[in-house]
A and B are shown apart, each in its own frame.
Chain A
Amino acid sequence: MNAPDTQTQNLASYNFAYLDEQTKRMIRRAILKGIAIPGYQVPFASREMPMPYGWGTGGVQVTAAIIGRDDVLKVIDQGADDTTNAVSIRAFFAKTAGVATTTSTPDASIIQTRHRIPETPLHAGQVLVYQVPIPEPLRFLEPRETETRKMHALEEYGLMHVKLYEDIARNGRIATTYAYPVKVEGRYVMDPSPTPKFDNPKMHQSEALQLFGAGREKRIYAIPPHTDVVSLDFEDHPFEIQHFDQPCALCGGEQVYLDEVVLDDHGGRMFVCSDTHHCESRRADGHRGALLGDEPGQDKEAMA
């Protein structure tokens, strides 16, 4: 799909993967510290990228620092390979690094993600790179960086439990549904980025290395493979993931995260897989959901 090195051989072009080598070294050092201290947010000198903050500049910088010529890159945005953010970032690395890209989860060596973890279990050797908007899980409880840093230093996370308790007091249950705080290896409380809490169990003892990049907030953090990642909860209000009472309308998949799609203005709606690769590969295997249409030209009945 992509001819490797056509870009990098051009003298007037960018360095491989856009970033200069000194920036890559700085980011690489931060990544190594992040892996050594799972869940700790390492400050780094985030660069301006040719896309605005909020479009995944943290994840892009992490990917640019680790990617090599032999890597195969997949980029997802809310589970989908075909949305603007995912397509743009995939094209960015195809152009600046000349790497091969894919939409297939098992075929990718690096998967950059905005707010989902693929449904297909990841395997050893894969790296999952998260785009993170607000890396500090305590930020909405305590706006001062000096204070949150001290709270992490002293392992003082009572405030977070108070927040979850207030959820219960108000709503009868923990109402946090995304960016649900986790404790990594029994030490640091970490923001898993705004993934739905449905994905939190996939972070626990994952086969893949997980790297998190927050460009605007200038933080990198990491979870090594086979690391304990526990969602915070209470004995009488244990952590639960979302459940859907119907399967995917296109592929019939169950136990997957579904997006709601509004069909008309009479309350019609359908629920479909958020992970497009998972949905497409299930349909290719012959699974059919209730609302899956036929290819044009196949066995059409006249709707007289």
Chain B
Amino acid sequence: MTMAPHSSTVYEGGFSDPVGASQAVFRALMNAIARPGSIHAVPHVTTPPAPLMASASALIATLADADTPVWLDPALTKTAAVRDWIVFHTGAPVTDQRSEASFALVAAPQNLSALNGFALGSQEFPDRSTSVILQVSTLTGGTRLTLEGPGIKGQSSLAPDPMPQHFAAQWMANRAVFPRGIDLILAAPGSVAAMPRSTRLIRSEA
């Protein structure tokens, strides 16, 4: 264990109203997953250390606890602050094995080479899979993704940026193993959108 003194950024910035804040964040996320492609406001209820985004930290504080290992991408493990903040505020163990993670937090999606290292669940228990939270700077200014599937009336669209390389091919591979697969949660500043595994990517255009 390091004995380096922690700045207050690690111990502060959690929920001030854990009951109300987590419920509000959860309902935003539930509506986002129930209607893939729709964008929902996430209240500013947490103040995490950089480069973790407030919305992404609110989601992880809402969802994670001692039962759910969390995987962090290299952009989040450059310093110990983000890991320590998550451990202190949620009690979740941080794992370096993608396949063990209940949740994955990715601050630099453009560097995420593959989605398939995460837990996909089994055919009998497809729920035992990783939910991947991507931090994006925008949900409307990137490459336009046209979506179909449960929760979508006709079609919906989303334009998140940055996104993993070759995302269209990766998402098609993820959709092909349904009901196994990962669920994507896209955390942008102040808002959230989602692409659960049931969502089909129809087109991807710049």
Judge if A185 is at the interface, Cβ distance under 8 Å: yes
Whether A66 pairs with B127 at a CB distance below 8 angstroms is no
A227: chain B residues within 8 A (beta carbon): 150-151
Partner of A226 from the list B24, B62, B122, B151 (CB cut-off 8 Å) is: B151
Judge if A179 is at the interface, Cβ distance under 8 Å: no
Whether A37 pairs with B19 at a CB distance below 8 angstroms is no
Judge if A35 is at the interface, Cβ distance under 8 Å: yes
Cα distance, A149 to B152, chains bound together (Å)? 28
A67: chain B residues within 8 A (beta carbon): 23
Residues of A in contact, count (CB < 8 Å): 44
Whether B20 pairs with A42 at a CB distance below 8 angstroms is no
Whether A21 pairs with B19 at a CB distance below 8 angstroms is yes
Judge if B78 is at the interface, Cβ distance under 8 Å: no
B151: chain A residues within 8 A (beta carbon): 35, 224-227
Whether B150 pairs with A224 at a CB distance below 8 angstroms is yes
Judge if B30 is at the interface, Cβ distance under 8 Å: yes
Smallest beta-carbon distance A134→chain B, Å = 19
Whether A153 pairs with B23 at a CB distance below 8 angstroms is no
- Determine, out of A23-31, A79-87, A280-288, A296-304, the stretch whose residues face the partner at the interface: A23-31
Whether A153 pairs with B123 at a CB distance below 8 angstroms is yes
A69 and B20 in contact, given A40-B126, A224-B35 (Cβ under 8 angstroms): yes
Cα distance, A15 to B131, chains bound together (Å)? 28
A125: chain B residues within 8 A (beta carbon): 31
Judge if A129 is at the interface, Cβ distance under 8 Å: no
Chain A residue nearest to B23 in the complex (CB): A68
- How extensive is the interface on chain B, given as a class? 35 or more
A149: chain B residues within 8 A (beta carbon): 124
Quick one: which of A112-127 are within 8 Å of B by CB?
125
**Interface readout for B1-39 with A: 1 if CB under 8 Å, 0 if not?**
000000000000000001110111011011101110000
Whether A36 pairs with B196 at a CB distance below 8 angstroms is yes
Smallest beta-carbon distance A32→chain B, Å = 6
Interface of B is mostly: loop
Judge if B183 is at the interface, Cβ distance under 8 Å: yes
Smallest beta-carbon distance B145→chain A, Å = 17
Chain B residue nearest to A209 in the complex (CB): B34
Quick one: which of B59-80 are within 8 Å of A by CB?
62-65, 67-68
B197: chain A residues within 8 A (beta carbon): 36-37
Whether A32 pairs with B131 at a CB distance below 8 angstroms is yes
A33: chain B residues within 8 A (beta carbon): 127, 129, 183
Partner of A38 from the list B18, B30, B65, B198 (CB cut-off 8 Å) is: B198
Whether B150 pairs with A21 at a CB distance below 8 angstroms is no
**Interface readout for A1-30 with B: 1 if CB under 8 Å, 0 if not?**
000000010000001100001101110111
Whether B178 pairs with A187 at a CB distance below 8 angstroms is yes
Cα distance, A37 to B123, chains bound together (Å)? 12
Partner of A28 from the list B63, B127, B152, B153 (CB cut-off 8 Å) is: B63
Cα distance, A140 to B30, chains bound together (Å)? 32
A228: chain B residues within 8 A (beta carbon): 150
A188: chain B residues within 8 A (beta carbon): 179
Judge if A263 is at the interface, Cβ distance under 8 Å: no
**Interface readout for B170-205 with A: 1 if CB under 8 Å, 0 if not?**
000000001100010000000000001110000000
Cα distance, A16 to B20, chains bound together (Å)? 9
Q: List 19 A-B contacts (CB under 8 A).
A: A8-B19, A24-B23, A28-B30, A30-B127, A35-B34, A35-B196, A36-B183, A37-B126, A43-B127, A65-B26, A66-B23, A68-B23, A68-B27, A153-B122, A188-B179, A225-B34, A225-B35, A225-B151, A226-B151
